[in-house]
Amino acid sequence: MNTMSECPYSVLIVIVILILCFFSQGESSTFNDNFDISWGNDHVKLSNDAQTAQLLMDRNSGSGFASKSKYLFGSFNMKIKLVAGNSAGTVTAYYMSSDTSSHDEVDFEFLGNLPGKGYHVQTNVFASGVGNREQRIRLWFDPSADFHNYSILWNQNQIVFGVDSIPIRVFKNNEGVGVPYPKNQPMKIISTLWNGEDWATDGGKVKIDWSKAPFISSYQGFEVDGCVASTCAGHWWEQPEFQNLNQHQLNKLRWVQRNYMFYDYCKDKSG
Catalytic residues: 105, 109
Distance (Å, whole) CA 257 – CA 7? 61
Instruction: 126-133: list long-range contacts, CB under 8 Å, 24+ apart.
Output: 126/97, 126/182, 127/179, 127/180, 127/181, 127/182, 128/102, 128/104, 128/180, 129/101, 129/102, 129/103, 130/180, 131/105, 132/265, 133/171, 133/265
CA 258 to each of CA 7, 23, 252, 261, 265: distance values in angstroms, whole numbers, following the listed order: 63, 43, 10, 7, 16
